[in-house]
């Protein structure tokens, strides 16, 4: 259980981030929801979490902006006294073959997906070092491990998260802080809903379990890494992909 602990989940108004927030709330944590544009969904999620008997707060911020990321962590600390668990989930896609990809789309994906992780982590680590405890869980992707045509910007950012995770784990392990990553595969979210059935069926052919994952599957892995069950695990990447890449 995570009773009394404070969790910050970035990009949490929908999809995988929402599932993570709900899972950790179910296990007693107070939740700080970060969102960038979906205010109605974020506020609705706050009420849903509060109905579980824990506290919740929504903070609008763009994690790619250093000062705004700092504000998320500052407000979380002011509201709840500390930050025990940070889940870096915020991310975007701007897919295109590299011959057609413009500089702006490459930069934007790196800024949100990779620099956003740095920004939020940078402001959280001092709190965790001081209290000699913390869990940092970064949401990467199976694409960051195996690559994917048309997603060179996304794959580069997600691969960068893996490198950051492993490096930071070595820096802060002696302070009681674990740093791990979860790499989702083909998960049923709003992004995959727009795909044709033919595309989904083709994807299943490359998955050992022959089915797409659900956001809750990712949330379960995050809960494991956030809990005391994983106290001797750090610097690792757990793929939640149904056997898509191994």
Which residues carry out catalysis? 154
- The rounded distance, in Å, linking the Cα atoms of 219 and 239 is 12
Is residue 112 within 8 Å of 92, Cβ to Cβ?
yes
Is residue 184 within 8 Å of 138, Cβ to Cβ?
no
Residues 6+ apart with CB under 8 A from 179: 136, 137, 138, 165, 168, 169, 172, 173, 234, 235
**For the CA atoms of 94, 167, 67, 84, what is the dihedral angle to 10 degrees?**
110
Q: Give the closest residue to 179 by CA, choosing from 158, 161, 155.
A: 161
Is residue 124 within 8 Å of 34, Cβ to Cβ?
no
């Amino acid at each position: 259980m995570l009773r009394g602990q404070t969790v910050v989940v970035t990009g949490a108004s929908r999809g995988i981030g929402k599932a993570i927030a709900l899972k950790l709330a179910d296990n007693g944590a107070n939740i700080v929801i970060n969102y960038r544009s979906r205010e109605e969904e974020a506020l609705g999620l706050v009420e849903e979490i509060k109905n579980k008997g824990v506290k919740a707060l929504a903070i609008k911020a763009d994690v790619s902006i250093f000062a705004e990321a700092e504000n998320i962590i500052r407000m979380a600390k002011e509201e709840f006294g500390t930050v025990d668990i940070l889940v870096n989930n915020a991310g975007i896609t701007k897919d295109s073959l590299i011959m057609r990809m413009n500089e702006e789309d490459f930069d934007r994906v790196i800024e949100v997906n990779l620099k956003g992780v740095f920004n939020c982590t940078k402001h959280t680590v001092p709190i965790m070092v001081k209290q000699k405890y913390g869990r940092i869980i970064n949401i990467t992707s199976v694409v960051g491990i195996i690559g994917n045509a048309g997603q060179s910007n996304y794959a580069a950012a997600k691969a960068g998260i893996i490198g950051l995770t492993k490096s930071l784990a070595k820096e802060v392990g002696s302070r009681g802080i674990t740093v791990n990553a979860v790499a989702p595969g083909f998960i049923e979210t709003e992004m995959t809903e727009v795909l044709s059935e033919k595309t989904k069926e083709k994807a299943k052919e490359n998955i050992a379990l022959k089915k797409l994952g659900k956001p809750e599957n990712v949330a379960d892995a995050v809960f494991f890494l956030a809990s005391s069950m994983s106290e001797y695990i750090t610097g690792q990447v757990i793929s939640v992909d149904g056997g898509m890449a191994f």
